[in-house]
Chain A
């Protein structure tokens, strides 16, 4: 039978100061790990939520994002007539030809220029994204130099309030409204009439085509039809898949960065835990001898000390995780490597991150505690009792 769990727990409580200091080191490591994983998760969540499962994005084959894509007008017309495109109540095809270009705007506070995505939209663009709500002002008129700004753009950049005007593409553009697209990437964009933007930026092509499927199950058929049409050098993806891919590189970078930092930091925390546990063993040699004399096996001693170290790791892990969870109230913006535009997103905590962070804290506890626990379990009973 095991040495009671309360033995390990109370020993940690008895050494409150040492326990707190050691657990704090571990908490810091878990905080860094969890925060960076939350950052990557927040980025992914924001971009994945940007897309709708029933929408299809068509871009030039092999282009990674809309920014690098070019879709000729005749190609757009061919895709528009595809029978799989859904038709609205008013008889119009739920199909939008869009252009995405980047401009620089000065950020609030620092005045440093940063990239902002301008999306040229068609009439149906709003119907394809029902999550978009106009918060202020009105929609831009077709054929005019009017734009509406996403709520994150207004928040983060100078001159993006309703009534103000921005100069790009050798024209002045009046902001006539502010829209909110929830926690999606659209909130970090400025929208205007696609044809006006094509003229302003002298781009004779669209960046992407977006349409809603008549029947979601038809996606594979449409995809094959578009990708096998010799007139089209395009590829079709579900909108959710497209935005998921947009987040991959950045999220991967963040995860690698997070794990690398954590591994380096964790070495310090593990050494701290090891010193604490070696000290715990050294202070309790007579206790170990007593327990062994009473009949507890070496394995029970090993488990008791390992349990103590795991509890130390777990307490550090929980503290780090609680601190990291507060980061959910923080939103940050950064340049997405794949689109080169600023994207605002929040730290996002999910079950997987909780499990990963706590597992890592337990791993630190285990690695830090295993050698002292082995030492404790290997003690000679008579030698240990002499320490009384």
Chain B
């Protein structure tokens, strides 16, 4: 695959966790780029720091050292409030356990990120319906999460992630809670989003089958990133 202009630039990022007086290094001097429209899989054993790295790129955690630039903005310099605003526009989240709000319908869950925009109600409705159409769940928009299967819930979560047309999609073990069939469906969907809509996807996974859909696989071990590899 040809090299594309980087949309994410990670430079000398380090991160430690504190457990009492003990300091546990999680990421050590990580430097790499993610091209625009790239589908990257981050793999590695448990505790290797891949989720931490994803959280830092998504702007929900803070680096101890280094910089992360996404779409030309150095997110490590943003205040908490600015970072929240930035996330609402630039990041779509896909979680392992879907993280849908149980008291809201599929439609309302997908609409949530749009409440942070200045769109009118009618515009929000149009966006939500389009996102649900992409994940093929328009007929289930009035269903609550508990009325949907795991695969369907994850598709609603994907619709929520793409509804604002974010700069990057971050997915943390998106197939970790799904059966084989649903895993296949979700990965097909993510592949379509990447190939047809040009979405940049950064995915943390343990599942080699899921990683096969990615353009690049980067392995993390004990907080250190290994060399680039193609699936």
Interface residues on B, range: 20 to 34
For the complex formed, measure the closest distance between the CB of A15 and the CB atoms of chain B, giving whole angstroms: 10
Check B104 against A385 for contact (C-beta < 8 Å): no
Check B103 against A11 for contact (C-beta < 8 Å): yes
Q: In whole angstroms, how far apart are the Cα atoms of A7 and B108 in the complex?
A: 10
Q: In whole angstroms, how far apart are the Cα atoms of A235 and B163 in the complex?
A: 80
Q: With a CB–CB cut-off of 8 A, which chain A residues contact B99?
A: 286-287, 289-290, 385, 388
Check B88 against A295 for contact (C-beta < 8 Å): yes
Interface membership of B61, Cβ < 8 A: yes
A1 touches which of B97, B102, B108, B115 (Cβ 8 Å):
B115
Interface membership of A6, Cβ < 8 A: yes
In chain B, positions 150-173 with a C-beta closer than 8 Å to chain A are 160
Q: With a CB–CB cut-off of 8 A, which chain B residues contact A298?
A: 80
Known A293-B87, A294-B116; contact A10-B95, beta-carbon cutoff 8 A: no
In chain B, positions 113-142 with a C-beta closer than 8 Å to chain A are 113, 115-116
Check A295 against B113 for contact (C-beta < 8 Å): yes
Known A293-B58, A294-B112; contact A388-B84, beta-carbon cutoff 8 A: no
A381 touches which of B61, B81, B101 (Cβ 8 Å):
B61
Q: In whole angstroms, how far apart are the Cα atoms of A293 and B166 in the complex?
A: 13
A14 touches which of B84, B88, B89, B102 (Cβ 8 Å):
B102
Check A6 against B104 for contact (C-beta < 8 Å): yes
Q: Mark B78-111, 1 if CB is under 8 A from A, else 0.
A: 0011001111110101011101011110001000
Q: Which of A1, A7, A13, A385 has the most CB of B within 10 A?
A: A385
Name the residue on A nearest B17 (C-beta): A382
Q: Mark A302-329, 1 if CB is under 8 A from B, else 0.
A: 0000000000000000000000000000
Q: In whole angstroms, how far apart are the Cα atoms of A289 and B101 in the complex?
A: 11
Known A294-B116, A295-B87, A296-B116; contact A7-B101, beta-carbon cutoff 8 A: yes
Q: Count residues on chain A whose CB falls below 8 Å from chain B CBs.
A: 26
Interface membership of A351, Cβ < 8 A: no
Check B93 against A297 for contact (C-beta < 8 Å): no
Q: With a CB–CB cut-off of 8 A, which chain A residues contact B104?
A: 4, 6-7, 10
Q: In whole angstroms, how far apart are the Cα atoms of A293 and B103 in the complex?
A: 18
Name the residue on B nearest A290 (C-beta): B99
Check A4 against B115 for contact (C-beta < 8 Å): yes
Q: With a CB–CB cut-off of 8 A, which chain B residues contact A14?
A: 102-103
Q: In whole angstroms, how far apart are the Cα atoms of A11 and B104 in the complex?
A: 9
In chain A, positions 1-51 with a C-beta closer than 8 Å to chain B are 1-4, 6-7, 10-11, 13-14
Further 18 A-B residue pairs, CB within 8 A, beyond A7-B104, A296-B84, A297-B81:
A1-B116, A2-B115, A6-B104, A7-B103, A14-B103, A286-B99, A287-B99, A290-B99, A290-B101, A291-B112, A292-B60, A293-B91, A294-B87, A294-B93, A295-B84, A295-B89, A295-B113, A296-B116
A-B contact pairs, 26 of them (CB 8 A): A1-B116, A4-B104, A6-B103, A10-B104, A13-B103, A286-B99, A287-B102, A289-B99, A290-B101, A292-B60, A293-B58, A293-B60, A293-B87, A294-B88, A294-B112, A294-B116, A294-B160, A295-B84, A295-B113, A297-B81, A382-B55, A385-B60, A385-B95, A388-B96, A388-B97, A388-B99
**Closest 4 CB pairs between A and B?**
A295-B88, A10-B103, A290-B99, A388-B97
